[in-house]
Copies of this chain bind each other. A is one copy, B any other.
């Protein structure tokens, strides 16, 4: 039978997973602000479920690092410092560089498939830039990079990058006006795509490094060094 997709409130299968995904999305969208407390009981009754699955989901997100749990005090949305930003983007650079190598070593077919996906993402991105829809740009930005890493086909790399993507979106959303050089945005991603397609390993690595460095500069520019961003 054709499976009719159920609604978001409560589905049959992996409840904790659904809660975690939903919550992560709400956090990176800024519905829960950094430093804000999340109460197990309250969330459970809101979701019409018990504390068990909620607790499981919260624990999951804590392990991912976007929540911090203090014993008998509560769980709170992560607050990011400038140092955190530097850490995150340093690791992102490492992961994406590795993915780039794996892609280029993986054969023409793999590169081609990945590029096809990346092209559509850039296309969507250009549309949203044209109408200045920042809300839609951040997810697309991350989708580009996530797809890039996914193209390498290393499941561990992908799993690592998922957490980094969530943290990056938290960085971006907490920066109010997130993209100072919004016109460069599409161009930069297009450049990465071109270099991947061309197979220019050297320049691709440089482009990734620069992309990350610029991001760190933008994200840390307005704030003091050790200050909390959010």
Contact = CB atoms under 8 A, between A and B. Distances in A.
A56 B88 CA distance: 27
A93 B156 CA distance: 13
Interface in A13-29: 13-14, 16
A63 B56 CA distance: 11
Contacts of A102: 90
Contacts of A55: 56
A73 B102 CA distance: 35
Given A56-B56, A60-B59, A98-B94, A87 B157 contact: yes
Contact of A88 (B63, B71, B156): B156
Contact of A154 (B91, B155, B157, B159): B91
Contacts of A13: 71
A114 interface: no
A178 interface: no
B87 A156 contact: yes
A97 interface: yes
Q: Is the interface of A mostly helix, strand, loop or mixed?
A: helix
A65 interface: yes
B14 A71 contact: yes
Interface in A45-68: 55-56, 59-60, 63, 65
A95 interface: yes
A63 B65 contact: no
Given A59-B60, A71-B14, A156 B98 contact: no
A9 interface: no
B87 A98 contact: no
A164 B95 CA distance: 14
14 contacts: A14-B71, A16-B59, A59-B59, A65-B159, A87-B154, A87-B156, A87-B157, A90-B102, A90-B154, A91-B98, A91-B160, A93-B98, A94-B95, A160-B160
Given A63-B63, A87-B157, 9 more contacts: A13-B71, A56-B56, A56-B59, A59-B60, A60-B63, A90-B98, A91-B160, A93-B98, A94-B94
